[in-house]
Structures are given as C-alpha cells and as structure tokens.
C-alpha cells in the first residue's frame, strides 16, 4: 500500500502583540493577535524529519514583533500584507502565506469633552479582523468585524413559520432582536485606506440593523450584507454570522401581573445560529 502526504501547513498562532505609537500630544495603543500559516516544499520534514526547509514557528513569532516596530503604524490589513510579503520574499521554499490578525478595541477615555492623551477603555469582545493570503503574485485581502454585540428593542418580528407537533414557540410581532454578529468581507482588489473602509462598512452594518424592519434574523442578515455591497464597489462578497441572543418574555401571571413586553429572561444556550454569504453576480 502506497501512502503519500496530502495538504499540509504549519505556522504560529496567537502571537499577542501590544504597541504604543507615541504622537506629539497623545499615545495610540494597539493590541492584536496574529496567526501565521505557511505552505510550501516541506514534505521531507514530515516524511524524513529533514528540517532544512523549515522556518521555525518561533522565528515567525519573533518576526511579527520585530517588524511591528517600524511597520505596524497603520491598518492591520497593511501590516498583514507586509508580513506576508516578508515571508514570501525571504523564503523561496514557501508557496503560500496566510496572515490572520484580530485587533482588540480600545478607545481613549473622554472627560469634559476632551480625549485623555493616554488612558483607554476596552471596547469589549468586539474585534477588527484581517486575513491576507499571498500565493506568488496573487493576493487576497479580507477584513471584518467579530463578536459585535448589537441589540434593538423593537422593529423585530418572527411569525408565519412551520408549526408541527413539536412546535411550542409562540409567534412574536414585536420582540427584542439581539445578536453577536461576525461579518467578513473580501475586497475585489487591495484597497487604499483600509482603516477608513472598515469604519465606513461597520457603520453601514450598524445603520442597516438599527433601521431595518425585521421579519426574521435571516432577512436582517441579507439586508445588512446587501447594503454593504451596494455602497462599496471595493467589496466583492460578504459573509455574516448572526447567532440569536434570545431574550424570552418572562411569565409574570403567577404573580398576578401582565408582562407587556417589558420583562425578559436572557439566555445563553441553546441559541439560533444564522449565517449567509452575499456575492455579486
């Protein structure tokens, strides 16, 4: 029986990097987590234990920190592009590089209408994401937002669904809609100002969610993605994951009270999981 090595790759995950960019009047604090993944002529490392073509994962980690000093000064997309090009240019045995970066949200504190020069507050679980794939001269650039917790208290319904012998869910014409949204979009080509594009696309997603008359999470997901594709020619496709963070009306009748859509029980599990990808035809 013949056995051969199939697809393979290796890299370094969870390179946690924090950086202070010192401006004249304030400090800019950035915190990211970087994953690197390499594909190339590494078969003999697996089959023979020959490491002569292996760039150690520890070296990959050190490269992230070293290059961050001079080259992590703008968007995470630009930094990921620089890292991918560095690994490709300096290692001919590498055919494909993937660099994934998640940036944690930090915002300067504000007092009496003025931003503090060096004190920050966390933006919670929300992260700005970037994914770069470089294979030869071919580049793929994706960006997104992860764990964006959003909620609205009305303009959301869920009715006219299948009801069978096991259905207990009651139709709702007015309910809380909450989700921890993850959106990822792929650019048609490397864009110019990645930071501005990210901020504008994020704002479009939020605006659509807030003003959309939702008949289902699926419909809201579609209209959020549609709004992005209609507004930004640079975006080729967008994928959204919108788990339903349920807020269930609590039964107050045992206490002689009527719950007029005011008191809810928040639940973590189980939860509905809704996803979809929108592409240009």
For 127-148, what is each residue's pLDDT tens digit?
999 999 999 989 999 999 999 9
Share of the chain above pLDDT 90, in %: 97
Q: What is the pLDDT of residue 161?
A: 95
Catalytic residue, candidates 12, 127, 128, 212: 12
Query: Does the active-site annotation cover 12?
Result: yes
Residues 18-73: tens digit of each pLDDT = 999 999 999 999 999 999 999 999 999 999 999 999 999 999 999 999 999 999 99
Query: Does the active-site annotation cover 153?
Result: no
Amino acid 66: pLDDT:
98
CATH architecture of 148-279: Roll (3.10)
At 190 the pLDDT is: 73
Is 2 a known active-site residue?
Answer: no
Catalytic residue, from 27, 152, 246, 247: name it.
Answer: 246
Q: Is the pLDDT of residue 82 over 80?
A: yes
DSSP character at residue 170: P
Q: Which CATH architecture has domain 10-136?
A: Roll (3.10)
One of 19, 27, 44, 57 is an active-site residue; which one? 57
pLDDT of 281: 86
In the chain, list all ranges with CATH 3.10.270.10.
10-136, 148-279
């Amino acid at each position: 029986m013949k056995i051969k090595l199939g697809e393979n790759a290796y890299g370094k995950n969870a390179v946690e990097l924090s950086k202070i960019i010192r401006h004249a009047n304030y400090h800019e604090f950035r915190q990211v987590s970087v994953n690197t993944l390499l594909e190339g002529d590494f078969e003999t490392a697996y089959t023979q234990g020959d490491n002569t073509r292996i760039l150690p994962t520890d070296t990959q980690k050190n490269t992230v920190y070293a290059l961050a000093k001079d080259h992590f000064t703008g968007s995470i997309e630009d930094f990921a592009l620089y890292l991918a090009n560095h690994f490709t240019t300096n290692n001919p045995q590498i055919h494909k590089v993937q660099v994934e970066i998640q940036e944690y949200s930090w915002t300067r504190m504000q007092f009496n209408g003025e931003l503090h020069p060096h004190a920050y507050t966390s933006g919670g679980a929300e992260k700005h994401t970037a994914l770069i794939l470089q294979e030869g001269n071919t580049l793929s650039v994706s960006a997104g937002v992860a764990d964006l917790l959003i909620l609205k208290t009305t303009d959301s319904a869920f009715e006219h669904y299948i009801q069978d012998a096991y259905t207990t869910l009651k139709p709702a014409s007015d309910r809380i809609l909450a989700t921890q949204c993850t959106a990822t979009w792929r650019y048609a080509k490397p864009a110019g100002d990645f930071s501005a594009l990210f901020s504008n696309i994020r704002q479009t997603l939020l605006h659509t969610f807030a003003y959309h008359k939702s008949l289902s999470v699926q419909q809201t997901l579609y209209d959020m993605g549609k709004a992005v594709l209609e507004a930004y020619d640079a975006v080729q496709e967008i994928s959204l994951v919108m788990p339903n963070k349920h807020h269930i009306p609590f039964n107050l009748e045992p206490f002689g009270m009527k719950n007029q859509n005011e008191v809810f029980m928040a639940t973590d599990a189980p939860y509905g999981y809704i996803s979809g990808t929108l592409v240009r035809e």
